[in-house]
Amino acid sequence: MPLLRQIRADFDRDTIVVYQAFGPAIADAALAAGRFVAPFSFTRMTWIKPSLLWLMHRSNWATKPGQERILGVRLTRAGWEEALAQAVLTSSAAIATAAVHVQWDPERSIHGAALNHYSIQVGIGRALIRTYAQDWVVGLSDLTPTVHKIAAFVRGGNAAKAQRHLPPQRIYPLEPNIARRIQATP
């Protein structure tokens, strides 16, 4: 049986939360301004992930250099879906000219083990980065203290307590044409 490709996320009627890891200078400036500002780069691709556990695997629980701060980024669902409607899989020949890149990677457990479904990461390219930062982002929150708390519970062998601090996730509903475009499991 092929592995599922589903977007599992914290979302409501109007917004979705994605996660990004940054160094302190970028995170502090963004949190102080309430939006992305310099030194955030508006000239290079930025990767967003609706799975906090996948980002924790990637950033080693906010300990990798340049990834010590974890931000929850609340986006409009309209912006999120606009990005997905323009997305091209990273394995596609059209990737060089795509405004948005999509990559599916194995989702991770709280212990970092690969799970039996894939999680999406979305690269917002230069053509849309200002739209992302100025129009789609409606809120930023610093999740670093929560991430450190979860990591301490995991290291201490208390996965149940760690799990209770994770954001809620459920399968995000996709329009059929977007699901086909990004090769999500129907």
- Residue 2's pLDDT is 66
Please tell me the distance from the alpha carbon of residue 43 to that of residue 63, in angstroms, as a whole number. Answer: 25
Judged by DSSP in three states, 170 sits in strand
pLDDT average per 10 residues of sequence, the chain (186 residues): 87 98 98 97 97 96 97 98 97 93 96 94 97 98 98 96 96 96 93
Percent of the chain's residues with pLDDT above 70: 99
- Residue 1's pLDDT is 55
Q: What is the pLDDT of residues 66-86, one digit of tens each?
A: 999 999 999 999 999 999 999
Note whether 60 and 105 are within 8 A (CB). Answer: no
- Residue 3's pLDDT is 78
Residue with the two structure tokens 């609706």: 50
pTM of the model: 0.96
Count of beta carbons in the 10 Å neighbourhood of residue 19: 26
Note whether 73 and 18 are within 8 A (CB). Answer: yes
Note whether 107 and 114 are within 8 A (CB). Answer: yes
Note whether 124 and 83 are within 8 A (CB). Answer: yes
